[in-house]
Amino acid sequence: MSTDRLHTAALTLAVLAPLAMPVAPAYAAASETRIDLGAEPGTIVIKTAERKLYLVTDTDRALVYDIAVGKPSEQWFGKSWVSKKREAPTWTPTPSMREKNPRLPQSVAPGPNNPLGERAINLGWGAYRIHGTNKPQSIGSAASAGCFRMRNGDVKDLFERVHVGAEVRVLR
């Protein structure tokens, strides 16, 4: 084979090889499960002990997502609602966070260092949220200051499915 043909073959392979490789999803897609949560479709049910968030889709079905929950001293339980949805949110530490760690920045703009990740779903009138994360390795643990962390791809999926005003139930 001539040098020109080898060069052309190598160049063609270099250009086409990445197209043939399977691309792994950036998140573990939600799976639908049969479960009766006693809630209307559109309701979010969080089971902290399971580290799972359920979005009710029918009387006996829900989409299930893996999440991180609050540290044991920061967990809360009860009912709330989706009060706001934000794309590319800015993170601002709460006064209690700043009290525990005065060196925290005033805020963190959207981007790879933002603890809220790519989406934030605010709950009620308080500082709690369902949000993405810049620490995906924390999913499945009790790591936050009371919020619920999701993989960025998962929170983007939930963000598109849930509406402002949706009921949120946080269970043990």
List active site positions: 131, 147
Q: What is the largest CA-CA distance in the chain?
A: 73
What Rg do the C-alpha atoms of the chain give, in angstroms?
21
- For residue 47, give the nearest of 65, 30, 28 by alpha carbon: 65
CB 147: neighbour CB atoms within 10 A? 24
Q: How far apart are CA 57 and CA 74, in angstroms?
A: 29
